[in-house]
Amino acid sequence: MDRRLNRYLAENFNDSIVIRNAGANVNSLKTTLIKYKNLIDEVVLLPHTDCGAMKVVYSNIVEGKKATSTAVEDKLIKQFTKTKFSSLNELEGLNLKLQEENLRKIFSAPVRAELIDVNKISFEQSKEPFSVYVTSPGKPIDLGSSVYIISSDESEVWDSLDIAIYVMRINKIKSENQNLLDQVRNRYPSIAVEKLSNR
């Protein structure tokens, strides 16, 4: 989902189907992933350092802060409650291994995983307010450095949106999907929505 990966994905995975959410959390993407189970040759998992979702997990488990929502608790945090880690870096490495194992349970195709260090990739600093673009899986899109991207089945966006809205304080959601935007308006009345033309 992270905006800092937009250019990296577009440059390095331009012939791939990209599925994105907060924390590279496979547990929150099972419906989406199963749709692609027999359609792909390889699965590449790319979580990254300085991950907002992992900061949510860390603050909940280590610091005792309450989860932003039941969806975040159930889909993201619970899978880490019986694991041991003492730093955010350790948790990010643990997430890489856990999500890779989860993918291997779904796909028979080869799975490889790499933790992207956001300090070693190029991205422009944003001068615009941040927003979230919600779309279906497809080719990587570089919408600039101010846009976080969630690409999954419509039913599996809510924990990522909770993190974007409640933790990251993003207050604008964009999509081509009017039904999704109507649901966003109902769930998050103070959030601005923007209907985009189909890409």
Q: Which of 1, 4, 2 is nearest to 121 (CA)?
A: 4
Write the pLDDT tens digit of every residue in 19-31.
999 999 999 999 9
* pLDDT above 80: residue 199: no
Query: Confidence band (pLDDT; 50, 70, 90) for 68?
Result: confident
Q: What distance in Å separates the CA atoms of residue 161 and residue 170, rounded to the nearest whole number?
A: 9
Where along the chain do its domains lie? Answer: 3-195
pLDDT tens sequence across 104-153: 999 999 999 999 999 999 998 888 999 999 999 999 988 888 999 999 99
What's the pTM? 0.94
Cα–Cα separations (whole angstroms), residue 36 to 5, 138, 180: 22, 11, 22
User: Which residues, in sequence order, are CB contacts of 194 under 8 Å at separation 6+?
Assistant: 131, 172, 173, 174, 175, 181
Q: Name the band, by pLDDT with cuts 50, 70 and 90, for residue 198.
A: confident
